[in-house]
Amino acid sequence: MTNVIPLAVAGRFLLSFTSLHDFLKHDFLLSSPLTSYSRLQEGIFLYEHDVDPYSGGGFYHSPLLLSLFSTVIPLTTTTARILWATCDVLSAYLMVQIWRARSKIVGGGRENMVIGAFVLNPYLFLPSLALSTSTLENTLYLASLFFACRKRKACCLLTLAFLTHLSLPSFLLAPSIIMLLEGKPDSSLASPKIISVNRCRIMKTAGEFLVYISTLFLASSLASSNWSWVVKTWGTGLLLPDLTPNPGLWWYFFTEMFDHFRPFFLMVFSMHLLIYVVPICTKFQHDPLYATFLLQGILGIFKPYPTMADPGLFLSSISLFPEVYQYFRHPIVTALLHLHASLLLPLFSNLWLAQGTGNANFFYASTLVFGMANGAAVVDCIFSGLRIAFAVQKGYEIVQE
């Protein structure tokens, strides 16, 4: 580990100061309308010149980012590159700390694998080089898990509240993270059991989280001087006003949608995300860290404006759960699907938008392959997380009671 960390840090900072950012910053696979660095720059410029950035139709970032990058950390290309690289290094460190909290092991080759799974994942470092704010969201997500593993309730809930303000679908992670605060990060997949819940304490924790959400809501309203930010940030994920292509499953469907069907299907797509929370949290109540991991993977597939960083974080997080590896059913097929999708996505987007020899159907077909690859990974992780509880002894399966 002592050899890997300096090399990873140095390599990541060196890449930050290459010309890759100029090449990647407009790639819609790496940045969505909600995470675009160019749109963030435009909003900060308007904000600093006393123009409401939410009065137009192209700015969807949180007012918290406006306040942060116009006062505390003035946003220039240099400061942005340093900050994003620092977030990558911090995220890798948090991954290691989460692994230590789960395994109760310090040092060893597994930590190098955890670092490598994050730092060397192209789904993660390419959006970071493009300065997509999804990198900041991933850091906040890992920080909330780290604080939950350490039982630092206030820090965990405040970090999760910040994450929710930047990305509203992250609110669905709150139940499992609150369970993690009240439980343990230890691996309990092989010995599932019903957990006795202190409902009063969980309600107090949920209430504290809502207080942080409300406080940041008021701070955002004060920073923007009006309430228009609510529709332009939180409302964007529910109303889908910007149909810029992305690696997700929503944009093409609603591009082809007749207007009179749009409200119904917006409701269906939004409610669809909710149906996973209770089953996952119930079935994996004995291992809330694994439940959070699965929910994050589901959000990476079905959220309205995903980037490559969303499923990328899920794939890197698999390194935290080596006990399930032997129970994967089709890891080679899943890996080949990801390889296939990673080649098709840039190829078909170039054929459509640069060469003009393809069309939107080509690109959407590649996003379906990508969605199938992510879905296969999530399904395999769910199966292996359940299968590990069925031990085989002398040819007989010992099932759960």
**What's the CA gap between 19 and 14, in Å, rounded?**
11
Whether residue 247 has pLDDT greater than 50:
yes
Q: Do 388 and 286 touch, CB atoms closer than 8 A? A: no
Q: What is the pLDDT of residues 273-282, one digit of tens each?
A: 999 999 999 9
Q: In the predicted model, what is the mean pLDDT of residues 120-142?
A: 93
Mean pLDDT for the stretch of residues 367-387: 94
CA nearest neighbour of 376 among 318, 323, 319, 321: 318
E strands in 199-277 = none
Q: Name 99's bridge partners.
A: none
| Residue 96 confidence (pLDDT) | 93
**Quick check: 172 and 278 in contact, CB under 8 A?**
no
Amino acid at 90: L
Distance in angstroms (rounded) separating the CA atoms of residues 167 and 126: 20
Whether the per-residue pLDDT at 256 is higher than 60: the answer is yes
The answer on pLDDT for 396 being more than 60 is no
200 or 356, which is more confident: 200
pLDDT of residue 393: 46
Average pLDDT of the residues of the chain: 88
- Mean pLDDT value of segment 290-300: 95
Per-residue pLDDT tens for 118-130? 988 999 989 999 9
Of residues 119 and 198, which shows the higher confidence score? 119
Q: Is 25 exposed, middle or buried (0-12, 13-18, 19+ CB in 10 A)?
A: middle
